[in-house]
């Protein structure tokens, strides 16, 4: 194994990496040995601390650059950190192992893949590729993909992998339904199919290193010695596999530094486990904990608002954020009639702020809970001629024509990749019909071989003769392109040859439609991207380019310098900041979203998500909710989000200037314009239903009038929780359960037979 030496003499004029740091930041930077937990509140300068800590380790000769491993969750964060370190220490930063979990461990796997039965040029399947494999397996097992959704099966497989549950273990211990049984059958075949294609999915990039280290302890020790210091950003977002693999690497020296904020743990839906950060000091008994509490981003008003929300959660690490910033503007609450009114009002406020205060388009962000909410804002911004960028839409690299060209390129480095081979064997059409493809697939399954190994000897196959000739031409083309690449042909020329010899570009030109011309332009842009990649790197390889684009995240698509208003989900906004932020759709069953299923709501994570949204704002913050929305073609009354009841009412004001402590709601159930807090939750009963008049009635099931009064929409009162409204109900008779939203206590799930509820007028 390669050894790393440190300089024997201290250079003169070393930079002072501690100047300008506050006391807590300085403590985090200079604590060089042993486990360290940095609890970094929003806007507290954690990126600066991480970069200075790495520079300080190098300055103090604790490690060579090659011995430092820094793991992030986005390529953007890794690039930013590496650039800052380069500015501090020079070109040595290029030798650091710094990147996302997936990029770093895919790099390790490229070196070691043969130890676990893969080739070094394995393909990385994205979610769509993985779902394509699952769909094919379902069809082979005679399941209809329209009834058994490939996405559902793939999600269950992905969740299992992240929890390190193997296909065998899933089969033995986790089958409790027909869907689980189908998943177990698919899971086992799915793994075999990927290995046969020399491919790994995103989850494998975390799971396979663990398998590698467990099977080959000498490999684990090699990387333990290589990575003397380990730093992990956004530790609250790690899943079980990420926790396991980094703990294995850190076990020898325990020089592990994790940075995170439990208050910003918002990814449980993709396997993130908040207990990883909450239990860090149990994993490392001699760990030091340093809180970063000074916020450099937001005004006092915004920070006060955020603090009032997050303190409602029970599971938290100890920290108190504060700032030396000005108090700033109060948060403005926009109360709208419907989603169109909301979008128009937000667009108008953006226009006014630009004119009155000189803000630029890229100073604004509109944050929502789900992607479908973007449509009305896009329309409103277009009407006012306001430029915007939509983050989280269809990625450039997910477009059909781009995926097709990339499939050709993938086969040049990994011809055994079945998914990509099947994608383009008859794209554009070259006379290889579906019947011939199915015959080839049948042969591959019978012999347990890859499709590529079968079609290399297509002459011996029982396939329609004209199709057999076309398959031979396809194989010869891939072989020819591969050989040219191996003999030193540039990536730029390789792409040109692929487009020419495959006939792909010619087919688009001959179609001569508006859509085909747009696809052609997209392919030209892909050629530009490949040329740029080749010029920017020495010894650039096609394999490296394919790996780089396969690991692009949503945040990597965000251009903070683009002169455009940003529209994105709150999840996508994490790690970003904007002078002006609009948080829209603050309504029950939307934000918090979890309430849509009525039961088992993880309201604390939804609250953390709201906290993340608030703390993206630097100077001005707007909350927005609607009185009604169109759902499934019908207008539906909306209840204002409980989070608006939890915020410090003194820092939030309506557009008229009244704080919400003075005026809870501008809407009422009549036309008088009077304020009535209860109206926010639409507590007025449906006038077509009979009103149950007895305010003192106790729960029972033999109503004299024959009508059960505890229906959805009815107002009730509880001895402990106070007044509320029934927002959902299920079950019948003595098994009836209701979900009640209480004004002062939020949402509660109750059994009718046991709950001390009374109906009120």
Catalytic residues: 46-47, 233-234, 264, 616
Q: What is the helix (H) or strand (E) element at residue 630, kind and residue range? A: strand 628-631
- How many residues are there in the chain? 761
DSSP type of residue 124 = E
Rounded Cα gap, residues 7 and 666, in angstroms? 69
Rounded Cα gap, residues 27 and 30, in angstroms? 5
Cα atoms in the 13 Å half-sphere on the side-chain side of 489: 16
Are the CB atoms for 535 and 412 separated by under 8 Å? Answer: no
Name the residue among 657, 631, 37 with its Cα closest to residue 318. Answer: 37
DSSP for 665-693, written as a single string: -S--SSTT----GGGGGT-SPPTTSPP--
Q: 754 in the Ramachandran plot: left (φ > 0), alpha (ψ -120 to 50) or beta?
A: alpha
Alpha helices (runs of H) in 94-229, residue ranges in sequence order: 101-112, 127-140, 150-162, 167-173, 178-196, 204-215, 217-226
**Omega into 664 within 30° of 0, i.e. cis?**
no
The residues with which 509 forms a beta bridge, in sequence order, are none
DSSP type of residue 699 = P
Rounded Cα gap, residues 96 and 330, in angstroms? 44
Taking residue 686's Cβ as centre, other Cβ atoms within 10 Å add up to 12
Q: State the burial class of residue 12 (Cβ atoms within 10 Å of its Cβ: 0-12, 13-18, 19+).
A: exposed
Structure tokens at 178: 């027909």
Per DSSP bridges, beta strands 364-368 and 331-336 are unpaired
The residues with which 729 forms a beta bridge, in sequence order, are 738
Are the CB atoms for 265 and 272 separated by under 8 Å? Answer: yes
Are the CB atoms for 639 and 588 separated by under 8 Å? Answer: yes
Rounded Cα gap, residues 112 and 122, in angstroms? 11
- Position of tokens 């490296």? 544
Taking residue 705's Cβ as centre, other Cβ atoms within 10 Å add up to 9
């Amino acid at each position: 194994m390669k050894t790393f030496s440190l300089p024997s003499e201290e250079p003169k004029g070393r930079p002072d990496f501690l100047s300008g740091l506050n006391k807590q930041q300085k403590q985090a930077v200079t604590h060089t040995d042993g486990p360290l937990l940095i609890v970094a509140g929003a806007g507290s300068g954690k990126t600066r601390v991480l970069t200075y800590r790495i520079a300080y380790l190098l300055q103090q000769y604790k490690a060579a650059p090659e011995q430092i491993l820094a793991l992030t969750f986005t390529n953007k964060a890794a690039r930013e950190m590496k650039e800052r370190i380069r500015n501090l220490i020079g070109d040595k930063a290029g030798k650091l192992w710094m990147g996302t979990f997936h990029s770093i461990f895919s790099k390790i796997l490229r070196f070691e893949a043969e130890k676990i039965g893969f080739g070094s040029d394995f393909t990385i399947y994205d979610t769509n590729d993985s779902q394509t494999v699952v769909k094919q397996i379902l069809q082979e097992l005679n399941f209809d993909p329209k009834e058994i959704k490939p996405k559902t099966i793939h999600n269950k497989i992905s969740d299992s992998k992240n929890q390190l549950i193997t296909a065998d273990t899933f089969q033995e211990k986790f089958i409790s339904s027909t869907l689980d049984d189908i998943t177990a059958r698919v899971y086992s075949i799915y793994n075999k199919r990927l290995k046969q294609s020399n491919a790994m999915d995103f989850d494998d990039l975390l799971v396979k290193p663990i398998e590698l280290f467990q099977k080959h302890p000498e490999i684990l020790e090699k990387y333990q010695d290589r990575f003397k210091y380990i730093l992990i950003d956004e530790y609250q977002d790690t899943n079980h596999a990420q926790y396991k693999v980094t703990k294995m690497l850190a076990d020898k020296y325990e020089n592990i530094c994790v940075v995170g904020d439990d208050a910003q743990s918002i990814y449980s839906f993709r396997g993130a486990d908040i207990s990883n950060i909450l239990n860090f000091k149990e994993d490392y008994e001699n760990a030091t904990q340093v809180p970063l509490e000074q916020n450099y981003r937001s005004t006092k008003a915004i920070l006060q608002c955020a603090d009032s929300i997050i303190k409602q959660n029970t599971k938290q690490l100890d920290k108190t954020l504060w700032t030396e910033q000005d108090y700033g503007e109060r948060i403005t609450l926009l109360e709208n009639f419907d989603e169109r009114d909301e979008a128009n009002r937000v667009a108008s406020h953006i226009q006014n702020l630009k004119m009155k205060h000189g803000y630029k388009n890229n100073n604004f962000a509109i944050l929502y809970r789900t992607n479908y909410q973007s449509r009305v804002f896009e329309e409103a911004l277009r009407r006012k001629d306001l430029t915007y960028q939509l983050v989280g839409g269809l990625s450039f690299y997910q477009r059909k024509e781009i995926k097709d060209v990339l499939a050709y390129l993938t086969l040049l480095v990994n011809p055994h990749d079945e998914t990509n081979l099947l994608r383009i064997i008859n794209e554009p059409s070259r006379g290889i019909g579906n019947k011939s493809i199915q015959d080839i697939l049948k042969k591959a399954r019978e012999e347990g071989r890859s499709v590529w190994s079968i079609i290399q000897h297509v002459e011996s196959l029982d396939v329609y003769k004209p199709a057999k000739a076309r398959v031979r031409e396809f194989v010869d083309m891939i072989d020819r392109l591969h050989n040219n690449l191996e003999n030193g042909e540039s990536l730029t020329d390789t792409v040109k040859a692929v487009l020419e010899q495959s006939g792909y570009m010619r087919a688009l030109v001959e179609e001569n439609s508006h859509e085909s011309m747009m696809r052609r332009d997209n392919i030209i842009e892909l050629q530009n991207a490949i040329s740029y990649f080749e010029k920017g790197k020495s010894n650039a390889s096609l394999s490296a380019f394919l790996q780089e684009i396969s690991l692009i995240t949503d945040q990597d698509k965000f251009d903070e310098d683009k002169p455009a208003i940003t529209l994105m989900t709150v999840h996508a906004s994490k790690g970003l900041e904007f002078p002006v932020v609009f948080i829209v759709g603050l309504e029950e069953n939307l934000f918090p979203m979890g309430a849509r299923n009525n039961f088992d709501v993880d309201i604390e994570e939804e609250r953390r998500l709201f906290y993340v949204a608030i703390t993206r704002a630097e100077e001005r913050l707007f909350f927005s909710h609607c009185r009604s929305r169109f759902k499934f073609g019908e207008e539906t009354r909306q209840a204002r989000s409980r989070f608006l009841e939890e915020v410090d009412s003194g820092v939030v004001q309506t557009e008229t200037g009244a704080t919400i402590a003075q005026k809870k709601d501008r809407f009422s159930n009549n036309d008088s314009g009077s304020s009535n807090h209860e109206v926010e939750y639409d507590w007025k009963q449906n006038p077509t239903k009979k009103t149950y008049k007895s305010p003192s009635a106790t729960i029972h099931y033999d109503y004299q009038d024959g009508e059960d009064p505890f229906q959805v929409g009815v107002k009730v009162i509880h001895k402990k929780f106070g007044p509320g409204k029934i927002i959902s109900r299920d079950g019948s008779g003595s098994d009836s359960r209701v979900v009640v939203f209480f004004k002062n206590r939020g949402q509660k799930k109750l059994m009718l037979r046991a709950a001390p509820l009374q109906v009120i007028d």
